[in-house]
Amino acid sequence: MPRLVSTAALACAVLGLVCCNVGNLQGTGGPFPTTIYAGTSAGASASQNGGTSWTTLGFAGNAVNGIAAVNSSTSVTIYAATNTGLFETTNGGATWASLLAGAVNGFAVSGTSICAATSNGVWIYNGTGWTNDTLASTSGGIPSNTVQGIFAGANIDAATNGGLSISTDGGNTWTQYTTANTSPALPSNNILAVFDDGTNTYAATDNGLAEAPDGTPTGWTVYNVSNGLPSSLVQGVFASSGQIYAATAAGLSFFNGSAWTT
């Protein structure tokens, strides 16, 4: 089974870095254990020397909203979400194949499944075809068709501009989490990104970063300018081993369990 090369996915407003995955770029001149893949407002790039120099992978002049790499023992597949669709390459960016048409705000790869965040709901590829979960078609509810970010692991978490939706059954049904049905409440219903480290769910919003225990996150701890973040506009989040990274409008911040460093 393919494995996700990276454990890191961050949005950085300061650098224009939408998403980076650190992994082993095999089959394209590798292995390079410090390869970084970057989706930017001007295309997709890769660095094979830890960021010292960069090579363009495609989409020059176009926004790449998300990027990820999945490898087998002999090759790597790179996925890129753009304003014209979701694409994949198996030859290091020499050619790209279209997987889903239309603007894709972000995506997540889990095994053979792909979940795409779009302005027309969540699109889920199960290995053979795509299904579309929208406000009208789902039970329990995606609270808005504008899905701004997505995470796929044990559950599928969809960040929308109307709240957070979580599916525990592969997208068949969804549960809404909003400012109205959580206490302590989410700081905003405008969820810009979401992450789940298997212990906690993290929601990046336009009014702070919210953290809640995994499963049914009905009570949230909120981080904003009042307790250490340089800005309450949080555009991306990643967490591992109790450490949290928040991409804010005023820089990248790191939480070590007791305090934030920007």
Give the domain 193-262 fold.
Thrombin, subunit H (2.40.10)
226 CB contacts (<8 Å, ≥6 apart)?
A: none
* Residue 225 backbone dihedrals phi, psi, to 5 degrees: -65, -20
Residue 6's pLDDT is what? Answer: 31
Residue written as tokens 């989490």? 177
173: DSSP letter: B
* Residue 180 backbone dihedrals phi, psi, to 5 degrees: -85, -25
Please state, in angstroms and as integers, the Cα–Cα distance from residue 123 to each residue in 52, 94, 128, 201, 203, following that order: 36, 26, 13, 21, 20
Of 251, 148, 244, give the one whose Cα is nearest residue 196: 244
Give the Cα separation of 160 and 144 in Å (integer).
Answer: 6
Give the Cα separation of 215 and 235 in Å (integer).
Answer: 23
Rg of the chain (C-alpha set):
17
Q: Please give the chain's pLDDT, 262 residues, in tens.
A: 233 333 233 332 222 233 333 333 333 444 445 577 888 888 888 888 777 888 889 898 888 988 888 887 777 899 999 999 999 999 989 999 999 999 999 999 887 889 999 999 999 998 889 999 887 776 666 878 899 999 998 899 999 999 999 999 888 889 999 999 999 999 999 999 999 999 999 999 999 999 999 888 999 999 999 999 999 999 989 998 888 999 899 988 999 988 999 8
pTM equals 0.81
Exposure on the CB side of residue 12, measured as CA atoms within 13 A: 18
Q: Can the peptide bond before residue 184 be classed as cis, meaning omega within 30 degrees of 0?
A: yes
Q: How many CB atoms lie within 10 A of CB 213?
A: 13
Structural domain boundaries of the chain? Answer: 1-102, 108-177, 193-262
Residue 69's pLDDT is what? Answer: 85
Residue 137's pLDDT is what? Answer: 77
Give the Cα separation of 194 and 206 in Å (integer).
Answer: 12
Residue 140's pLDDT is what? Answer: 62
Q: Which residues pair with 215 in a beta bridge?
A: none
